[in-house]
Structure 1
Amino acid sequence: MLAEGVLAGLDPEQRAVAEAVQGPVCVLAGAGTGKTRAITHRIAYAVLTGVVAPQRVLAVTFTNRAAGELRARLHRLGAPGVQARTFHAAALRQLSYFWPRVVGGEPPKIIESKIGLVADAARACRLAFGRSELRDIAAEIEWAKVTQHRPEDYAGAVATAARKLPADVADVARIYTMYETLRRERNLLDFEGMLELTVAVLTEHREVAAQVREQYRYFVVDEFQDVNPLQKLLLDAWLGDRDDLCVVGDPNQTIYSFTGASPSYLLGFTREHPDAKVVKLVRDYRSTPQVVALANGVIGQATGGAAGRRVLELVAQRPDGPEPVFAEYDDEVAEADDVARRARKLIEEGVPAREIAILYRINAQSEAYESALAAAGVPYVLRGAERFFERPEVREAVIRLRGAARAGADAETDGTGLIATVRHVLSGAGFTDRPPEGTGAVRSRWESLAALAQLAEDIAADDPSAGLPEFVAELEERAAAQHAPPLEGVTLASLHAAKGLEWDAVFLVGLVEGTLPIVYAETPDQIEEERRLLYVGITRAREHVTLSWALSRSPGGSRRRRPSRFLYGLAPMTTTPTPARAERAQRRTTRGPQPCRVCGRPLTAAIERKLGRCEDCPAQLNEELLVALKEWRAKVAAEQRIPAYVVFTDATLQAIAERSPETLEDLAAIPGVGKVKLDRYAKPVLALCTGATPN
């Protein structure tokens, strides 16, 4: 590709970035403005015009997936050979290479998770904590290390930063001290220590620094608003006294300050590099004008915090779309039920389930939405922290597929094609056409394998001639980039986990004071970071965005909650209830929470409301009916190619088996059996309950 061809199709601001090929450059890039396009074209243009050789470029990203995407784009642009890595991957590569020369001996083992070592340190200090507390203490140690605070000055740093701790500050400091002692005794190295050691090697060994700086002369750092002090130290060590550095970031998307990240490096770039060229990317190609206007309205009200002093106002480039929806509910159950209904309606209107997301502030909010989506017959995917290609079942499946490809398994499928081949290989790892009942580890394993099977279908649709070797090559490329195949279902994710992703439709739920902003956000900086979280959530949406809140936690509870302050001036604070909602509110006003049908205690837990009783209260269960219901559900799920829980959850089937409803009204009174389920399944379920054979 000719150099001028690389510039074709860029908007004026993106072109300005691409042509600024020398010296310090700061790109302030808003959400959806094509920052990856701008920086990849900049690197390619510099390579094709002879400004820099590709092997002299180091592009630093924050995820392996982003690094893989950069490499793939640069290859297509005619600039292969550029190194694109995360801070940790680049540091590990350099440390491993120079270790025999500058240190010698057995290199330390890298630990990917601190929790085990933190647990050992706590026991050595004679302190007892649960796994969640240990996880929080591990996060505190990470924060201390990236912000360069040692155990002896940890307590003072915590007080200065006004951090909320999972335990007494003195206990955390003791565990931190013991953690470092055990780590050194066992010759272990955590990710922060790896960066520190790389900086030390570059600082103390001039010949190593000279070799690294000879190798890498041209730097690009993405998501610069998320750089922490330790990463900045490493970047400075790489740079030395040079200034061929391009940084890209969005101060409005600074949401990781609690981990030690600081937007000050992005916002202060021109102070450190007075001759830097600054380019703003504000043309939003992702979202409709209605979504963009809402995002601008939220971030435009910023009143404090470091990032709030410089605002990028997005300019929409897409045609008009629907207006944002604001919805107020009496309680969280009603909110979850209606969000599930709206999601189902979008799917019925043609929006793929994988293009819908429900985003919340904390992971504990997901349970109500899992239950509501299952009751509404909507498949969902819970986005967790575990990386897809690191799951044991996925590793096993890839090994099996790789072995089958080497053995020429394509020839053994009698021409049935890639899809049948992959499904046959995956069956050896436990994959079945029929999803398992219930949730938990078994369900999670099946969903992982189902995602691989779905990916085979997608590849076969794009390229009917593709065989198993091509499929395995695609898997290995995706694994290197941590590019997981999409699962078919509505995504449930926290706002933090949603950063960097996008969907056609986004539901932002639980927008009440105490949740967003979170209750422990007290300082102006902390409050403004919570505002930016909402901004990030809004800018994930391409077309549809719904913002909702509930005035009470539980049905019949006191309606004392207030909508998030971030919605003031943007949303009506009251809404006109639909007839169904008004009827539901009236029932709750007159009756209060649903009582246990055994002991009469008010029921608040989702599973108890479905059963109609306390979990520990005795009930008459028709076990034969429950078995028959599960067999019928499995058959329906297989015929419709949907997860079993989408038909009815285990809790709903148990409630049916306990109550043995004989009429449509009896069945409709069971929580989890809504209008959609009645229309689809009432006849066969009632037939089973009365001892007949369902049609």
Structure 2
Amino acid sequence: MHFTDEQLAIIAHPAGHARIVAVAGSGKTSTLTAYLARRLNEGANPRRLLVLMYNKAAQQDVSRRLASEQPQQTLPEVRTFHSLGYRILQRLVHDGDLPPVHWDLLNDAQIEPVVWRLLRAAAVDEEQAEDILSRKKKWVEPALNYFELVKSSLASPAEVFEQSGLPKVCRIFIDVFAQFEQWRADQRRLTFADLLYDPVRCLIAKPDVAQRFAGHMDEILVDEYQDINPIQQALLDILHGGRGQVMVVGDPDQTIYEFRGSQPSLLTEAFQQQFADPQDYQLSWTFRYGHQLSLLANHLIQAGADRTAASTLCFSHASTANTRVRQIRSDDSAQAALDCIRHWQGERPLTDIAVLNRLWANSARLELKLLAANLPYRLESHRTVLERFELSPFWVLLDLASGEFSCYNEEQRRQAWRTLLTQPYLKIRKAVVDDLLSRLAGVAHDTARHLRNALPENLTSFQADQLLERARLIQRAEEGRVNASELVSGWMIGTDYLNALRDNAFSAQQVDDQVATVTAFVDFIAAQRWPAAEAGDQLRALQAQRRASGQNGVTLTSIHKAKGREWPCVLIPELNARFYPYHPEGDLSRPASEDSERRLLYVALTRARDEAILLTPLTRQDTPDSPFLKEMNWDGCRTLAEALAQSHSEVSLPASMNSQVVERYLKAQQSALQIHWQAPQAEDPSTEPQRRLRHPKFGAGRLLDDDGTRLSIRFVRDGQVRQFDRAQAWPMLEWLDD
């Protein structure tokens, strides 16, 4: 293998601490494997070499490569942080420093009921207790996310809460965390996070015990260092113990796990404070994608607030083939994606294609179109679109229409009735709902009449009216003489389902996911024109068809799950101001960082090898372009990439391009290309950056117009533009760009 000068410098690293910044596709794993092979060939003791990888897949990859290159050698330990924590925890328990535990880890199904019970007990009043009782998911999910955040940190639970951005109503999480930890201690149980949390807390509390684990390694190598959190950093510090050398590898531009506690400053700032005088290296040459994508990615990431003129850029290596980057404008992103997939299908296997979504909300419509087109796909989510919780009422209605409901067993009917009575949620007390369920679970026929007869007298008039409306819709389903579209849209309209989802979800991201899924499903059903009595069977046939196709299809995944991977063809849908940057607002949500959102798009772009397509809005009045699109300087990057590919001697570029990025890129390429900078054009007011803000009622938005007396603001939550009296509204606004 031919290594670059940057790679050779790392492979030959003589001694001392080292920090490597490696861009996407830079041959990092090959370089690290070659470095380790060199150290072993020089006689380094493999038992005093420790390699820490971020996840199991990376750990297995490095282990496999080392074994291939050094088949006769004793190899160093290659572990994930959690597997190392597990081993240390076993030792601490064996030595009596921690009490015995059950080694089978708690799963979500075991944890959630305990947390739900503790939340109800911690409620500040009866209203909150009833809300927790009736809306388990709304409360349990953010509580568990908070627990994970605490266990990634060295700060106290109270400090973590203050830094989390969670609203005051969630303050009960602090006490619930303490109670959960007490329950866990009493039961001697562990979660996955505790494989690090428990041993590290023990070692910090008992310095004499920590000394037993310190300083045994001559070298520690840590991959994906930008993603580690304070608890992992503390373990690294303990293991180092002031002895030996530490080499870390990461890319601050790919830090996208801050919501899990990752801190990019551990790589960019804290490393040299903890490990003195490190040697800095770069892997800036990418072997994955060509000039245009490198230039677009560099312009995008260089617009971040934390970037400097010396920050690492990615440069396409001479051996790297051209990557075609296109922007397709369409107001139907799913149809545009389907058209792209069909085009690619004629040229390459579907497994070459990945659709990278900012939210799962972005994938629902495309997934349904792929089902209808009989195109196989691989979904990297827990549920396919047809299995989503928010579609449950529609399945029950369609089974009522077909007669399938009468074949349910009693427990299935109980669950079906729970769905019909609580989706959407009517704030009926759980005890009342449970009583209704016990009376209706045995009903298999004439369900609407039985529901009307079972209504208790202690309902509010609103609740009674809503349940009577549901009985009417159930009766229409039972009669079976409507088409499926009338039935599902009737439920959506009659129950005000979409607004109910907005009111009842725990975060705006969940709202966006659920509303997008429901509207995509309703539109899909309308397009099929199935009779209601046949629709359930048709949908099940589509599900069976997908299962039969196996995993040999298009990959539908999130950008977070795509990190560390690559595909020949990448689609990025819904690249607009609503989703890039995405600023979720909701009663139990955490605020988002614009720099983090920019890094997320950077990660998505740099997954592509041969072709990347960005799906952007056609009609930009209702759905504006993402501000990140302008930061990329699309036309200039394309022009410069073409000039480099065709070995031009000169090129004219727009003054809006980042001249430092251009100059550094040309210098790295050893290009003599002469640049003529075009005169700056007068800024079109319609393209000026729109200031981001937060309104106390409507949440995050962008200022579209300020004429001195009136403000025009488009809000992220519902996409609506609202007008405000400037004098009244201005003091209430929080400016997010300041």
Aligned residue identity for 1:529 = S
2:61 corresponds to: 69
Q: What's the CA shift for 1:201?
A: 4.2
Aligned residue identity for 1:249 = G
After superposition, residues 508-657 of structure 1 pair within 5 angstroms as 508-520=572-584, 526-550=593-617, 559-568=621-630, 570-571=633-634
2:39 corresponds to: 46
Match of 1:111 among 106, 109, 119: 106
Quick check: 2:21–2:251 contact (8 Å CA) kept in 1?
yes
1:283 corresponds to: 285
Quick check: 2:51–2:220 contact (8 Å CA) kept in 1?
yes
Aligned residue identity for 1:115 = E
> 1: CA distance between counterparts of 2:356 and 2:144?
25
Match of 1:143 among 120, 141, 149: 149
1:355 corresponds to: 352
Quick check: 2:372–2:542 contact (8 Å CA) kept in 1?
no
Aligned residue identity for 2:340 = R
After superposition, residues 264-343 of structure 1 pair within 5 angstroms as 264-268=265-269, 269-302=271-304, 304-305=305-306, 311-317=311-317, 318-321=319-322, 323-330=324-331, 334-343=332-341
2:344 corresponds to: 346
> 1: CA distance between counterparts of 2:199 and 2:144?
22
1:131 corresponds to: 137
Quick check: 1:29–1:280 contact (8 Å CA) kept in 2?
yes
Aligned residue identity for 2:336 = D
> 1: CA distance between counterparts of 2:98 and 2:162?
36
Q: How many residues are treated as equivalent by the alignment?
A: 463
Quick check: 2:327–2:614 contact (8 Å CA) kept in 1?
yes
Match of 2:553 among 465, 489, 496: 489
Q: What's the CA shift for 1:518?
A: 0.6
> 1: CA distance between counterparts of 2:68 and 2:279?
27
Distance change (3 Å), C-alpha of 1:175 and 1:536: same
Quick check: 1:359–1:537 contact (8 Å CA) kept in 2?
yes
2:241 corresponds to: 240
Q: What's the CA shift for 1:551?
A: 5.8
Quick check: 2:53–2:80 contact (8 Å CA) kept in 1?
yes
SS at 1:146 equivalent:
coil
After superposition, residues 79-228 of structure 1 pair within 5 angstroms as 79-103=73-97, 106-109=100-103, 110-113=105-108, 114-125=111-122, 126=129, 127-128=132-133, 129-131=135-137, 133-158=139-164, 163-164=165-166, 168-203=169-204, 209-213=210-214, 215-228=216-229
Q: What's the CA shift for 1:344?
A: 1.1
Quick check: 1:291–1:542 contact (8 Å CA) kept in 2?
no
Quick check: 2:25–2:286 contact (8 Å CA) kept in 1?
yes
Does 337-346 or 375-384 show the bigger shift?
375-384
Structure 1 length-normalised TM: 0.62
After superposition, residues 445-464 of structure 1 pair within 5 angstroms as 446=547
Quick check: 2:215–2:243 contact (8 Å CA) kept in 1?
no
Structure 2 length-normalised TM: 0.58
2:366 corresponds to: 369
Does 514-523 or 250-259 show the bigger shift?
514-523
SS at 1:296 equivalent:
helix
> 2: CA distance between counterparts of 1:356 and 1:37?
25
Distance change (3 Å), C-alpha of 1:572 and 1:524: farther
Quick check: 1:340–1:376 contact (8 Å CA) kept in 2?
no
Distance change (3 Å), C-alpha of 1:274 and 1:153: closer
> 2: CA distance between counterparts of 1:540 and 1:23?
33
Distance change (3 Å), C-alpha of 1:296 and 1:94: same
- 5+ residue gaps, structure 2, are 123-128, 384-536, 637-738
Quick check: 1:354–1:488 contact (8 Å CA) kept in 2?
yes
Distance change (3 Å), C-alpha of 1:171 and 1:213: closer
Distance change (3 Å), C-alpha of 1:282 and 1:523: farther
Quick check: 1:504–1:544 contact (8 Å CA) kept in 2?
yes
Quick check: 2:289–2:323 contact (8 Å CA) kept in 1?
no
Q: What's the CA shift for 1:308?
A: 6.9
Quick check: 2:583–2:592 contact (8 Å CA) kept in 1?
no
> For the aligned residues, what is the CA RMSD?
3.1
SS at 1:543 equivalent:
strand
Match of 1:37 among 30, 40, 43: 30
After superposition, residues 7-46 of structure 1 pair within 5 angstroms as 9-46=2-39
Aligned residue identity for 2:40 = V
After superposition, residues 499-510 of structure 1 pair within 5 angstroms as 499-510=563-574
Q: What's the CA shift for 1:326?
A: 1.0
Q: Deviations over 1:154-176 (max 9, x none)?
A: 44333xxxx245x8222333432
After superposition, residues 433-472 of structure 1 pair within 5 angstroms as 438=539, 443=544, 446=547
Q: What's the CA shift for 1:339?
A: 1.0
Quick check: 1:253–1:533 contact (8 Å CA) kept in 2?
yes
Distance change (3 Å), C-alpha of 1:439 and 1:279: farther
> 1: CA distance between counterparts of 2:116 and 2:175?
12
Aligned residue identity for 1:537 = A
Distance change (3 Å), C-alpha of 1:258 and 1:560: same
Distance change (3 Å), C-alpha of 1:320 and 1:442: closer
Identity among equivalent pairs (%):
27
